[in-house]
Chains A and B, each alone.
Chain A
Amino acid sequence: MPRAVISSAIGIGLAAGLYAVSFGVLAVAAGMTPAQACVMSMLVFTGASQFAFVGVLTAGGGALAAAAPAVMLALRNAAYGISLVPVFPRSLRERAVLSHLVIDETTAMARAQDDPLAARRAFLATGVSVWVFWNTGTLVGALIGNGIGDPRTYGLDAMFPAAFLALLVPQLRRAGAPVSAIAGAAIAIALVPFTPAGVPVIAAIAGLVPGLLWARSVRA
């Protein structure tokens, strides 16, 4: 496996581990037990959903109310999973196991490679790295709990947009991608004041349409 892929995978994993610490802290502060926080990180394993879930609990919502935006945010993993079909192996059992690793980071890393085999390796390296660091970070955060005080003091909340930006920038070279990015961002911002958590991000998928039309007009 290329060194650049391994070092990127470890870098992404370390970053995920750092904000998993903040997830663990926030989850326990929201009333979840450390065991619940850890099970969530192991089995839900999709950061934005987990943070949305904890955010609703923190705001006083019940578990079912918290699960709704978490599921809406997880919908994009279905799109990622479909987009990764050409990258996945043929064996059903392997696909079943690898599917658990379908998240923003692994999809972006796979997309950044030139051929399906390199994409599969990058996906696996990133997925294993993020899963290990994500769960280690969650455990640490859940155990230190409220001891560190407000995670925002350390700027942990600022890590999310920065991380998603770092994932987005390499993808902007694709035809139509800048148009889709601007449209998606505009849709999301416009909906924030009027819709429940999770909806603005899901609705932003519509930003795909102007991007595709742009790409088609460039090709024509």
Chain B
Amino acid sequence: MTWAVLLGLCAVSYLLKAIGPLLAGGRELGPETRRALELVAVPLLAALIVVQAFSSGRHLVADARVPALAVAAVLAWRRAPFLVIVVVAAATAALLRAVT
């Protein structure tokens, strides 16, 4: 693990975040563009959920994370606070792993 790669990653990460605010700042966006940008996070978040719940490397798996996600889904649907959702999900997975 070299510091050079790590610091390069730091720089790239920042530039990606800043490219919009620094280059497009102050400009008005059209309604179509705005609608598209407002929706961008949705497919990405959905992808992160399924990838982090159902995969291990390149393998699709179903382990304790799946019932944990199901519990989280019920809580999120019932509008439970954020911290309650993630802590109960972790506890569900931990409990299932402890008893199996």
Contact = CB atoms under 8 A, between A and B. Distances in A.
Contacts of A102: 17-18, 21
B43 A157 contact: no
Nearest to A101: B17
Interface string A30-73: 01110010011001111011000100010100011011001100
Contact of B22 (A8, A99, A172, A184): A99
Contact of B65 (A11, A81, A85, A158): A158
A95 B21 contact: yes
Interface residues of A, number: 104
Contacts of A183: 43
Nearest to A57: B1
A44 B12 CA distance: 8
B22 A166 contact: no
A143 interface: no
Given A85-B21, A100-B17, A207 B46 contact: yes
A108 B82 CA distance: 12
A171 B49 CA distance: 14
Contacts of B46: 168, 180-182, 184-185, 188, 204, 207
Interface in B18-33: 18-22, 24-27, 29
A218 to B, nearest CB: 12
Contacts of A78: 16-17, 19-20
Given A57-B1, A189-B54, A212-B36, A201 B42 contact: no
Contacts, number: 316
Nearest to A53: B9
Interface in B66-85: 68-69, 72-73, 75-77, 81-83, 85
Nearest to B24: A85
Nearest to B26: A90
* Chain A interface mostly: helix
Contacts of B44: 76, 79, 104, 184, 201, 204-205
A66 B75 CA distance: 34
Nearest to B10: A43
B90 A162 contact: yes
Given A11-B81, A45-B13, A79-B40, A163 B18 contact: no
A82 B64 contact: no
Contacts of B69: 158, 161-162, 165
Contacts of A67: 5, 8-9
A81 B18 CA distance: 6
B72 A98 contact: no
A180 to B, nearest CB: 5
Contacts of A182: 46
12 contacts: A18-B86, A80-B17, A92-B22, A100-B18, A158-B53, A161-B72, A169-B76, A171-B42, A180-B42, A185-B46, A207-B42, A208-B36
Interface of B: 1-3, 5-10, 12-14, 16-22, 24-27, 29, 34-55, 57-60, 64-65, 68-69, 72-73, 75-77, 81-83, 85-95, 97-98
